[in-house]
Chain A
């Protein structure tokens, strides 16, 4: 009797574990709703009058906890040549993305804004050139570069020959706002 109970409990736990893992791998190929999930207006400056900072929008990328979305973001990061200026996170012509310093904000909405609107001194605007759904994927990947995404959704390897520390083996950085250089 006890054996049967144990076995049942193990089965329930096993199913629960599988179900919990589903979200990580969801692939919304045809969903357009994220396309309408435009970024809300975000605060551009770290300076503000008074003690309290302006409220954060708290808007997250729909792919923040999705392993497929993050790996697609990683592919698009190469496709759309983000790698040309930011390299594989270490930076080059553009600032590094895998460290803890954020010039224009580390929140998903800020990064979305940076990609879509561009920033002074070189970051081009990708408005109309990248569908919003894919921008959110890139946002999730950029956040994952410094370890700011769900751990089990982080990419574990790269699809090229050159070795680099996989995202899920990097130390998570605590974001610091640095303001424009």
Chain B
């Protein structure tokens, strides 16, 4: 029994040290600073804890002899307490200095910044806007932040409604998004990969389903991606796709969503110009497949109750056509 418990605990501890969305598996300089401070504090506190337990064991187990007959002098007790307090104060000071030094490392980037991305928090999804000197080269990527590997990325984060918090544990600590204020910070990924992020400040009904992914890729792949995202949506080809576009533009969809290249231009909901190219739907709540998309379009409230998208009682043919059309928007 005890062996089994030890095995399970060891497995859990080992699993805690790698994997996605994990503070102890840093993939960038900022997260590494934070992890280093964490490990340093863990080590020092571990040693202190072990020393305290050893002192306790010594006090309980030591053999009593004649000298115990006389009570300990007040003076000796005071000396011990003062020494313990002094050591504690020094340790806390060292902790404070190491935290401040790590914090300084987080505020300024190492090397020139490559790109700036605007992060906008919404109830309950994320919007990543890639600005450019040419307005027609703006690109928007809901719930998916693509970044090139090995260069600092400047993030300017704001919120459209309530407080949110941007947290990709593998890349950086939590950074709050506050309405009416811009939060500036830097992230950098040193290895290509997909890192999961999550809102870390309670923001309402679907706070738990407000996730996103950071896709870090080599510069050339990133450039290809951003070039593609800047293009307008693909024109419908087949009759069903054309009908789907018509349904989209004539019904409720057009009131909230943008598809660049069509007359749909509302900024209320996530942009759908390249919706089929994304990994997830509904801010990481469901995978991006045809079935999930159809369920989401018709009754998103059964997937993510309370989200801002209303149920859309479309006729069956119309719903299928819209889904077919949206699946072509790569």
A residues whose Cβ falls under 8 Å from a Cβ of B: 27, 29-30, 32, 35, 79-80, 128-131, 133-134, 159, 161
Contact = CB atoms under 8 A, between A and B. Distances in A.
A131 B161 contact: no
A128 B302 CA distance: 22
A29 B252 contact: no
A30 B302 contact: yes
Q: In the complex, which of the residues B254, B255, B311, B313 has the most CB atoms of chain A within 10 Å of its own CB atom?
A: B255
B121 to A, nearest CB: 14
A129 B252 contact: yes
A66 to B, nearest CB: 14
A29 B256 CA distance: 18
A62 to B, nearest CB: 14
Interface of B: 161, 180, 250-252, 254-256, 268, 299, 301-302, 305-306, 310-313
A27 B310 CA distance: 13
B255 A129 contact: yes
B301 A35 contact: no
Contact of A129 (B161, B254, B302, B313): B254
A30 B313 CA distance: 12
A35 B298 CA distance: 13
A30 B255 contact: no
A35 B313 contact: yes
A27 B306 contact: yes
Contacts of A161: 180
Contacts of A80: 255
B268 A29 contact: no
Given A30-B302, A30-B311, 16 more contacts: A27-B306, A29-B301, A29-B305, A30-B301, A30-B305, A79-B256, A79-B268, A80-B255, A128-B250, A129-B251, A129-B254, A129-B255, A131-B311, A131-B313, A133-B310, A133-B311
A113 B53 CA distance: 76
A86 to B, nearest CB: 17
Contacts of B313: 32, 35, 131
B200 to A, nearest CB: 22
Contacts of B251: 128-129
Contact of B252 (A27, A30, A131, A159): A131
Nearest to A75: B308
Most buried by A among B180, B251, B310, B312: B310
B306 A29 contact: yes
B261 to A, nearest CB: 20
Contact of B311 (A27, A35, A79): A35
Contacts of B180: 161
Contact of A130 (B255, B305, B306): B255
A30 B312 contact: no
A155 to B, nearest CB: 15
Contact of A30 (B250, B254, B299): B299
A131 B312 contact: yes
A134 B301 CA distance: 14
Nearest to B247: A128
18 contacts: A29-B306, A30-B299, A30-B301, A30-B311, A79-B255, A79-B256, A79-B268, A80-B255, A128-B250, A128-B252, A129-B251, A129-B252, A130-B252, A131-B252, A131-B311, A131-B313, A134-B310, A161-B180
Contacts of B252: 128-131
A71 B306 CA distance: 13
B312 to A, nearest CB: 7
A107 B254 CA distance: 29
Most buried by B among A27, A29, A128, A131: A29
A102 B268 CA distance: 30
Contacts of B306: 27, 29
Contacts of B301: 29-30
A32 B311 contact: yes
Contacts of A30: 299, 301-302, 305, 311
Contacts of B312: 131
A139 B108 CA distance: 51
A48 B180 CA distance: 53
Contacts of B254: 129
B236 to A, nearest CB: 20
Question: Which of A129, A133, A134 has most chain B Cβ within 10 Å?
Answer: A129
Nearest to A134: B310
Contacts of A129: 251-252, 254-255
Contacts of B268: 79
A74 to B, nearest CB: 13
